[in-house]
Each structure stands twice: as C-alpha cells, then as structure tokens.
Amino acid sequence: MKYLLKNTYLLILMLFSIEISHAGILASSTRVIYSQESKDKSLILANTNDYPVLTQIWVDEGQIDPEFKNSPFVVLPGIFKLTPKETKGIRIVYNGMPLATDRESLFWLNLYEIPAIKKSNLADEYLNLAMNTQMKIFYRPQGLKPYTLDDLQQQIQYQFISNNNLFELKLKNPTPYYLNFANLKISNNQSSSTIQHNEDNILPPFSEKNYTLINHAFKNASQNILEYTLIDDLGKAHRYSIQLK
C-alpha cells in the first residue's frame, strides 16, 4: 500500500507541477467533468509541502466563499489534515439542486490549505502560506449532443471590430458547452497582436464576448489570421487557426 501511494504521489507531481507548481496541494486533474448520470466524482489530492496542512474544500461560483449556500455539490470529506507528501481521495457528490438542462453549468472547487504547525515552530517565511487553489467543475446534463473540440471549433462565430484606434475580437459561442480559450492572437502581413489576458477566458454557452487587442498599433488588413488554443476535458491544449473576414 505504501508503494502504491508513493507512486500515485509521484504521478500527480509529474502531471501537475507545471500547471500549479505554486500550490502545495496538487490534484489528479485540472478540472472536473460531472455528468448528470454520475453518482459521484473522485479526485486524488497530494500534499507536496514539507509540513502538514489543514485542508478545507468546498464548491462555489467563484467568489471563494466557504459559506456559500447555493452549491449543488457536496465534497466528502470537507475538512481534513494532510501530512507531508500524503495523498488522499475525496468525493464530489451532486445534491440534486435543479440546474440548466440545455447547457453546461460552471462551478469552482476550492482547495484551501493552512499550515498545521504551531507558529512558534514556523520560520518567518512560512507564516503567510495559507493558500486557495480553484478548479473548474463543469456540470454536464444528459441529452447534450456528443462533441469533439473540432466540432465546437467549427461552430464558433468570429468578428474583427475596428473602432478608431481600438481593435477588438468578438467571439460568439452558439453551443451548449463552455469554451476555454488560451493564447488568442491575430496577425496579418503588417503586424500582429495578442489578446489582452483575462483570468476568465471562458466563453459560456450561448453567449458572446469582446476581447481587446493589446497592441493598439495593430493595423487592419484584408486578411487577418486568428490563432488560439482550446482546452479539452482533460486539460490538454489544442491549437487552431482561422482566417477572419
């Protein structure tokens, strides 16, 4: 059993140390896809700190509120202690709260960790290590048409907007799925520009959003190429490019 836990810990560390290397608690996935027909979803956590931590876990809508009352998910256990390098499994259970049936719903899993050591035993640099890591939970109702990222990518609607010296990209998502964009960039034979970074580069179902270009010196042209990355259910990146009209 100790050998199994050790190897599980090493696997988690290798998979996720790049994505959230600043966090002491690492999870076995970067997001949770919760299908309506699922009884629960399991997640393995690993404490990569060299000290024990008290961990509190809850689900909210992104406001980092452990007292949030309208969460459709219960996490078991919700509070526990992790010794250094220990791994532990948790269960995420849907409590039956009514949610949209024609599209995905998005919630956030909070992993809040506090050093479980007396302050007198902590060096000065460890006194402010309380940390919260958030992960996306996508609730996926039954009846949605199965898809691939290539399918979704072909349905995205794009519009390049030039307003004096301000350039924006309008993206419209006509699908019932959340689209997680990254590395948005527009280029042509005159110049190129990345899209202003937004912590929430997620386009909800049946919605549209305008993204501002960082380089305001970007020149409009007859042919503009949009390059971007979409993140799939496993957290893997898929690159696409399309010619804007």
Enumerate domains of the chain plus CATH numbers: 2-140 (2.60.40.10), 149-244 (2.60.40.10)
**What's the farthest any 2 CA atoms get from each other in the chain?**
66
How much is the pLDDT for 162? 74
Beta-bridge partners for 75: 92
Contact by Cβ (8 Å): 36, 141: yes
Q: Which residues of the chain have pLDDT under 50?
A: 1-21, 127
Amino acid, single-letter form, for residue 197: H
Residue 8, helix vs strand vs coil: helix
Distances from the Cα of 16 to the Cα of 10, 20, 45, angstroms: 10, 6, 11
CA distance linking residue 174 with residue 62, whole number of Å: 24
How much is the pLDDT for 241? 92
CA distance linking residue 158 with residue 244, whole number of Å: 7
Query: What pLDDT digit, counting tens, does each position of 119-173 carry?
Result: 655 555 554 567 899 999 999 999 998 889 999 999 999 987 876 667 788 999 9
